Amino acid sequence: MLEMGWIRREAAAFQRAADWKGIKISIAELIEVDDRRKAMQREAEELRAERNRRSRGIELLMREGRKEEAQREREASASQLARLKQVEDNYRETERIYEALMLQVPNLLSPDTPQGATDRDNVEIRRSGEQPAFDFEARSHIELGESLDIVDLARGVKIGGARQYVLKNNGMLLQRAVQELALDLLLGKGFDLLDVPVMVKEETMIATGYFPGNRDQSYAIQGDDKWLAGTSEVPLVSFYSGEILDLAAPKLLGAVSACYRSEVGSAGRDVHGLYRVHQFAKVEQVVICRADLTHALEWLERMTANSEELLRLLELPYRVVAVCSGDMSQKNYKQYDIETWMPSRGSYGETHSASLLLDFQARRSNIRYRDEEGKLKHAYTLNNTMAASPRILIPLLENHQRADGSIYIPPALRPYMKGQTELRPRL
């Protein structure tokens, strides 16, 4: 958890971050609870010291044969022990309240984070690529997927219920092609690629900052202390939990994994097609670096650039936005989203997200390193979506469609698509 001394020194900033992020917590209440907790701790320590002093005194009185005085001391000690038990019980309850409040404290916001309430208040930074101008009636990814026989939504729902889907033949190949291209890009940039568990412990979800806030977005495995992770960021950060690292160079980690989200609260939004589904796959980047803000901000830009490079290879128009305070999660200090043009929506849709968390996760996960003076410090962590599917298939199909219903395949994907240059409708 965040360091309490820092929270006390920057109480107004932490309260402002909570208010702007829509997190209901009173920093003043947290400080008051911490004061009470410390006072109880001091009283308990004093009572234990007095108990030990009385015990030694009783032993001495008994050795000297002063039994009546020893008995009086025992009676006084019994009363004191009752008080100690009461204080310890109160301390444990106060400690529980304190820890629950600490888990709700948000990360601070970077000075350049836009203030706003929803994603509509995010601020565009730059755009790349031209939106296609079709001289025919363009079709949605659902229509294209069905005509190409690569997406089967009806059978997905039959198998798994709402917001499920099946990718078939070239649909499956196209998803894997994007993933393999993304992984090859990361491999070429020095990332270690991991195959990680997505069934994780509850403490892992807490340590990476997904709990308590996102518990209703996650799937629990009944009868076990396990959850299905909504991103491989969780196991990637946890890979080094409890360790002291050599961060002369940052740790660069990548993974592709299945992801699971309940999407509670999104009823009625993006319910058709492949935009918002319960199970998807994601290629993720995680960087663990030393606690140097300038250094970490450079890595945020580099991770975002990795995703932009992928989108340019896919020949897709996109824009980068600075995420506003109200659209940012508890754990993030600064965040960029990349939104890719989706013709059927007539707008850009989020496909990537890059975040700097300072030491928020590293403190919870106890990831440390030694600085130049040999002192132990908590690291900084960053994460970024390199590719999320099937959502990325929406702009791929819709932007690259042709009048005859075929789909142009960008050259960067062709080696992963068995040399195919286009997808054609079934006859």
pLDDT digits (tens, 9 = 90+) for 133-178: 999 999 999 999 999 999 999 999 999 999 999 999 999 999 999 9
Residue 284 pLDDT > 60: yes
Residue 292 pLDDT > 90: yes
Give the mean pLDDT of 259-279: 81
Q: Which of 353, 355, 365, 389 is catalytic?
A: 353
The DSSP annotation for 185-206 comes to HHHHTTPEEE---SEEEHHHHH
Q: Which of 16, 176, 276, 345 is catalytic?
A: 276
Q: Which of 261, 290, 364, 368 is catalytic?
A: 261
Grouping H, G, I as helix, E, B as strand and the rest as coil, residue 315 is coil
Verdict on whether the full-model pTM lies above 0.95 = no
Give the pLDDT score at 55. 80
Q: Regarding predicted confidence, which is higher, 403 or 214?
A: 403
**What are the residues whose beta carbons fall under 8 Å from the beta carbon of 377, sequence distance 6 or more?**
290, 291, 368, 369, 370, 371
Task: Provide the 10 A C-beta neighbour count for residue 158.
Answer: 11
- The predicted-structure confidence for 349-367, as pLDDT tens digits, reads as follows 999 999 999 999 999 999 9
What confidence tier does 56 reach under pLDDT thresholds 50, 70, 90?
confident
Per-residue CA distances from 244 to 3, 32, 367, 375 (Å):
18, 33, 6, 11
What are the residue ranges of CATH 3.30.930.10 in the chain? Answer: 119-423
Give catalytic status of residue 350 as yes or no.
yes
- The predicted-structure confidence for 246-268, as pLDDT tens digits, reads as follows 999 999 999 999 999 998 766 55
The DSSP annotation for 93-152 comes to HHHHHHHHHHTTPPPPPPTTPPP-SSGGG-EEEEEES-----SS----HHHHHHHTT-EE
Per-residue CA distances from 265 to 262, 270, 295, 303, 358 (Å):
9, 12, 37, 30, 28
Judge contact between 337 and 328, C-beta under 8 A: no
CA-to-CA distance for 23 and 33, rounded, in angstroms?
A: 18
What confidence tier does 225 reach under pLDDT thresholds 50, 70, 90?
confident
Judge contact between 116 and 325, C-beta under 8 A: yes
Give catalytic status of residue 276 as yes or no.
yes
What are the residue ranges of CATH 1.10.287.40 in the chain? Answer: 4-102
What confidence tier does 235 reach under pLDDT thresholds 50, 70, 90?
very high
CA-to-CA distance for 342 and 276, rounded, in angstroms?
A: 14
Give catalytic status of residue 339 as yes or no.
no
CA-to-CA distance for 286 and 291, rounded, in angstroms?
A: 15
Give the pLDDT score at 58. 78
Give the pLDDT score at 81. 86
Residue with tokens 């807490």: 206
- DSSP annotation of 358 reads T
Mean pLDDT of all residues belonging to the chain: 95
- 4-102 homologous superfamily: Serine-tRNA synthetase, tRNA binding domain (1.10.287.40)
Q: Which of 73, 233, 339, 350 is catalytic?
A: 350
Specify whether domain 119-423 bears CATH 3.30.930.10: yes
